[in-house]
Structure 1
Amino acid sequence: MQKELKDVVVIGGGVVGTAILRKLSLYNLSIALVEKQPDLCEGASKANSGIIHTGFDAPPNSLEAKCLKRSRELWSDYTEQLKIPYIPCGAIMIATNDEEKEIIENKYIPNAEANGVHVEWLDRDEVLEMNPAVTDEVIGALSIPGEAICDPFTATRSYADLAAINGAEVLLGSGIVKINEADYGFTLYLDNGQEIKTRYIVNAAGVYSDQISRMIGDNSFTITPRKGQFILTEEEIEISQVILPVPTAKSKGTLISPVVFGGFLLGPTAEDQEDKEDNSTSAEGINQVLTSCEKLIPEAKKYETIRQFAGIRAVCSTGDYVIRPSEQNKQFIHAAGIRSTGLSASPGIAEEVAEQLEIAGLKLERNDAAKTETPNLFDDSDENVGEIICLCRTITKSEITNALEGPIPPTTIDGVKRRTGATLGECQGNCCIPKIMDILNEYDLNHELPLKGLKDSPIAVKGGR
């Protein structure tokens, strides 16, 4: 049982929750994050396009547009400080007829100008020079040079790693079953029998944020899960940028994008559903991705895929981000309704949440000893050589043991994948998973690390390991 009164507990171990934790770790606060899954980055944060959006198409004057604008000012420093793989490749929105061109000219160019995002029109020859694989039917495209791609796994982990280095506590495999209000704030009851007392709560629980909200009687918004199916291919595609369609009212549309760790991503679909955990793929969904992408790149249906996956994004009843105190208790701060731009807006969302906490009465006093940079997991020094475990991605045994000795060690095979890149290659782990399991077993015997899938108990990671 937790006896210490925390200043803030963040609920949710996705990219939004960990970004908030990182921000709060820069102050003199006692903070913790609770996540019901056995590892971080288990929800929408692991199954998205990996695109850093500028917000050119966000509704002007919306909270989403505000957070994206703040994030544009922060991402350069974040990628350097947190060692996040990042490629500023830009994006183009393809027009294949006069109607699509008119939509771009009348809607997206003025929208981008209202949000302070630089865009420009490219003619057909300019588009095909940079991206020869694009359809010959293209008549031009909107260029958004500020768009970029990054590794969402590293972003989520690095946010949390830095927070842990600065003393934050991260509780994995810890679902919340009840929240009681008290004179000091709240008591959280976890499904493992643990209790945490805290003055403030930040609700960053993604598709479950409405359910967490209802634990204190707040029914002010609802979340609808929307599935997006993706395809990953390692075919050679002659594009150098993110290729976007003209969006629909429901979705940004199915796109084709380079991936920072190799290959190309096609997707997503936009399928509203009731089940918040159904992230299955279907033949129908995969065919929809290929058919939609074929309109942008005619060869798309011929590509061989090495993986299909789906993510579930949170569609909020309010139509915008919900970042504010709860109507029931001002010490309970929502960071909810973050639909498809959570990765892109995470730095700005964290800034906004910190301000909301301060308005609610939390004193934010900067900790001069707090670190702002994470260590480099992929050390290229002479010591980081040896047996290659993942041939597809040239991942060595020392890189995996480095991850196991990091601030928040992996507890699953997927956790190793998201920290090192092992199993992400063409064989999708068929060759390296047995070796990784041997390393995990060996490490567990020597260090008594409870590993999910090998042992069943959740782990608690204390900051400053």
Structure 2
Amino acid sequence: MQNNQYDVVVIGGGLVGTAILRALSFYQLKLLLIEKQPDVCEGTSKANSGIVHTGFDSKPGSIEAECLRRARDLWPGLVEDLKIPFIPCGAVMIATNEEEKDLIENTYVPNAKANGVHVQWLSREEILQANPAVSQSTIGGLAVPGEAICDPFWATRAFAEIAVVNGAEVSLGSGVERIEKMENGLRLHLESGRQIETRYAVNAAGLWADEIAALVGDESYAITPRKGQFILTEEPISISNIILPVPTKKSKGVLVSPVVFGGFLLGPTAEDQEDKVDRSTTLDGMEAVLAGCEKLIPGVRDYSSIRQFAGVRAVCSTGDFVIRPSDIEPRLVHAAGIRSTGLSAAPGIAQMVVEQLEKAGLVLSEKQDSQHELPDLFVEEQETGEIICLCRSITRSEIENALRRPLAPQTVDGVKRRTGATLGECQGNCCIPKILDLMASTSAPVKGVRHSYLAFTQGEKHG
């Protein structure tokens, strides 16, 4: 098989695309992931709440609910194998009046039961004992012990890296602009001019999934972008759980959650828009976050913010995930319409996509030597003792090792997601110059295709 010929190409390097690449990497397949941005986790996946939902409130019988059900069984093994920072803190949905209590008891309790998720009612006293910062007006709430928080940056990168360790390739910095149908597969034309032939392709392009589908003449669904604005604070908040509102028809609502790498997250909003790349924050958006969170935790307006940001998630016209071969071109399998539960559902989505590819004719033969556990790739060198990021106590060695990984960062944001540098109170004002110096001096793979773990360990560079 020639260098530009593959069994499966995954289009999209977010949580869903990298999870699919990982799941496929355990089989004897030549694989490639294409991401148009300079790193994985650059789209919806980089700006979310970091919550691993159980799916207690998902519509029973939906594809989303099925993916979440599968994912619940897969997450414990993934956390262990890929060393993903993960805190099983649980969540509480707060009722502040009888109407919300009735909605919880008559809608969310039976919904959770239908989805196989354990929940229980907590009294006002039980909630305040574990979460003193919660509003005194609460009359009780629904505990969801299975909810957790994790690092979505780490998860995305780890999915991609274990796939690279197992022989998959990753191409960054150039997206798909045209898909040509061939007798035995598809020819993908990239923005860089590169042409790639593949027997099958997976459309995990997130907000642009409908545009990828349209490249083969498939207009069976449309994606609408929905912005969510967040506030990040490092003020101490006396909560031990994720604090959830009673959801609306439009979204899960504005919540307050611990962050696995420190601090607390407030948000998000749910603002439908036309622009898929508009991640701006606004005064109105910040006010909506504070007003929503204030109902749950009265003191939020007094907290200082170290960062405000926004993410844009995909809302599908079908009202559900789209995980199936295209009706127009069955060699293109969709993993589309993934909105707020994308992080939580990604492992289940990947499992379902593998099944869809097999039904479409892909022969799967398991590798005998594949690795499930991400190896410790830290290069043992004498610790310099130099702290690069003072806010997070990130050392020079930690950053240098991130720059030598199989999927090395090409941007400061990429370093941030792998090490935590720049995430502190100064937001990189003190450490970015030193990080740029290290990026310039460290021998890391350049932008393009990352090959196998063997190539990485031998120090091969790929252009």
Counterpart of 2:461 in structure 1 is: none
Counterpart of 1:114 in structure 2 is: 114
Amino acid at match of 1:459: G
Counterpart of 2:460 in structure 1 is: none
Residue 169, structure 1, aligned to residue 169, structure 2: yes
Residue 411, structure 1, aligned to residue 400, structure 2: no
| 8 Å Cα contact 1:170-1:463 kept in structure 2 | no
Residue 284, structure 1, aligned to residue 273, structure 2: no
Alignment of 1:139-178 (within 5 A): 139-178=139-178
Counterpart of 1:459 in structure 2 is: 448
| d(CA) in 1 for partners of 2:173, 2:268 | 29
Q: 1:129 to 1:378 in 2, by over 3 A?
A: farther
Residue 314, structure 1, aligned to residue 303, structure 2: no
Counterpart of 2:392 in structure 1 is: 393
Percent sequence identity is: 63
Counterpart of 2:79 in structure 1 is: 79
Task: Specify every segment of 5 or more residues in structure 1 that has no aligned partner in the other structure, as ranges.
Answer: 451-457
Amino acid at match of 1:157: R
Q: 1:377 to 1:400 in 2, by over 3 A?
A: farther
Task: Specify every segment of 5 or more residues in structure 2 that has no aligned partner in the other structure, as ranges.
Answer: 457-463
Q: Which moved more, 1:23-32 or 1:386-395?
A: 386-395
Counterpart of 1:453 in structure 2 is: none
Q: 1:44 to 1:377 in 2, by over 3 A?
A: farther
**What is the alpha-carbon root mean square deviation over aligned residues?**
1.4
| 8 Å Cα contact 2:403-2:444 kept in structure 1 | no
| d(CA) in 2 for partners of 1:97, 1:337 | 34
Q: Which moved more, 1:127-136 or 1:393-402?
A: 393-402
| 8 Å Cα contact 1:377-1:399 kept in structure 2 | no
Counterpart of 1:343 in structure 2 is: 343
Amino acid at match of 1:293: C
C-alpha deviation, 1:460, in angstroms: 2.1
Alignment of 1:229-244 (within 5 A): 229-244=229-244
**C-alpha distance after superposition, 1:342-370 (max 9, x if no partner):** 10001100000000000000011100111
SS in 1 for 2:311: strand
Counterpart of 1:129 in structure 2 is: 129
SS in 2 for 1:40: coil
Counterpart of 2:429 in structure 1 is: 430
Counterpart of 1:442 in structure 2 is: 441
| 8 Å Cα contact 1:33-1:171 kept in structure 2 | yes
| d(CA) in 2 for partners of 1:440, 1:405 | 10
**C-alpha distance after superposition, 1:110-163 (max 9, x if no partner):** 000000000000000000000000000000000000000000000000000000
- TM (norm. structure 2) is 0.96
**C-alpha distance after superposition, 1:41-91 (max 9, x if no partner):** 001111000000000000001110000000000100100101100000000
C-alpha deviation, 1:375, in angstroms: 2.5
SS in 2 for 1:38: coil
- TM (norm. structure 1) is 0.96
Amino acid at match of 2:131: N
| 8 Å Cα contact 2:4-2:195 kept in structure 1 | no
| d(CA) in 2 for partners of 1:248, 1:385 | 52
SS in 2 for 1:356: helix
**C-alpha distance after superposition, 1:321-346 (max 9, x if no partner):** 00000001211100000010010001
| d(CA) in 2 for partners of 1:3, 1:353 | 25
Alignment of 1:318-397 (within 5 A): 318-376=318-376, 383=382, 386-397=385-396
| 8 Å Cα contact 2:404-2:445 kept in structure 1 | no
| d(CA) in 2 for partners of 1:147, 1:122 | 16
| d(CA) in 2 for partners of 1:106, 1:290 | 28
| 8 Å Cα contact 2:255-2:268 kept in structure 1 | yes
| d(CA) in 2 for partners of 1:262, 1:241 | 14
Amino acid at match of 1:170: V
| d(CA) in 2 for partners of 1:27, 1:449 | 26
SS in 2 for 1:296: coil
**C-alpha distance after superposition, 1:286-308 (max 9, x if no partner):** 11101110000000111100000
Alignment of 1:154-233 (within 5 A): 154-233=154-233
SS in 1 for 2:83: coil
| 8 Å Cα contact 1:179-1:186 kept in structure 2 | yes
SS in 1 for 2:178: strand
Counterpart of 1:455 in structure 2 is: none
C-alpha deviation, 1:449, in angstroms: 4.6
C-alpha deviation, 1:385, in angstroms: 5.6
SS in 2 for 1:351: helix
C-alpha deviation, 1:384, in angstroms: 5.0
Amino acid at match of 1:232: L
| d(CA) in 1 for partners of 2:161, 2:196 | 21
| 8 Å Cα contact 1:323-1:333 kept in structure 2 | yes
C-alpha deviation, 1:4, in angstroms: 3.9
Residue 294, structure 1, aligned to residue 283, structure 2: no
